Amino acid sequence: MADDGLDASELADALEAIDATLGVWNRELSDRMQEQIRAGTPAGDAVQAMIARHKQQVEEDRAPVDYDELHARIVELCDAFRDLDNAGRAALRERAAQWRNLRNQFYGFIHYAAARLRATRDGRWIDLALAAAAIDGGLSDWRDLYVALGELWLAAESVHINPRSRFEAAAAMADDTLDATRHSPRGLVAGFPHSAHLHSIKYRR
């Protein structure tokens, strides 16, 4: 488990180190997948094998990344982000945009936070998860973001917490820059409570 009490510079160094380790691991998995494709394995099957190998390594504690430490560092990052002013948040979002491999773990962290919320009924997990959403803003994949936010929303409702105001607060911390499709991270988070995805998963429940 990670030690407590890192200052901002130490936290950034720790996050960059995790990002680098994840990058090496991702390349190893990808290289193995490409080898299978060159050997004649259908691309779809090779992708599924890569996902299964990743999951197996994590479950067998053979992954090069300690997920307890990973989640602890993301918690620290989200706490720091929430405490910053607008300028500080913008600077942190810009820096985090360079941590491509680590940022890809944010959606998994949101699922993790949803599970912790169900187990503990502690609303802090909603705020941490939404801070991660505000930092990434769907930059990695907005569809994966919506899937993770959907699980978080259902977890909140399962413990009788109304998440709507918390989503509004998180949206205010997200970047409001429009992309080429006229969407912004702020709009994605703010629009989630009214999204077709949320309506769909609530209807199926």
The token pair at 192 is: 């989630």
Residues 105-149: tens digit of each pLDDT? 999 999 999 999 999 999 999 999 999 999 998 888 888 999 999
Q: Report how far apart, in Å, the C-alpha atoms of 83 and of each of 3, 53, 87 are.
A: 20, 38, 11
Residue-level pLDDT at 1: 36
Please list the alpha-helical segments (H only) found in 7-105.
8-38, 43-59, 67-83, 86-96, 100-103
Neighbour-count burial for 53-83, b at 16+ CB within 10 Å, e otherwise: eeeeeeeeeebebeeeebbbbbbbbbebbbe
Predicted TM-score of the model (pTM) = 0.86
Q: Is the pLDDT of residue 173 over 50?
A: yes
Instruction: Give the domain ranges of the chain.
Output: 105-204
DSSP at 42: -
Cβ–Cβ < 8 Å for 28, 65? no
Interior CA angle at 93 toward 98 and 91, to 5°? Answer: 105
Average pLDDT over residues 74-100: 91
Residue-level pLDDT at 8: 67
CB count, 10 Å around CB of 91?
11
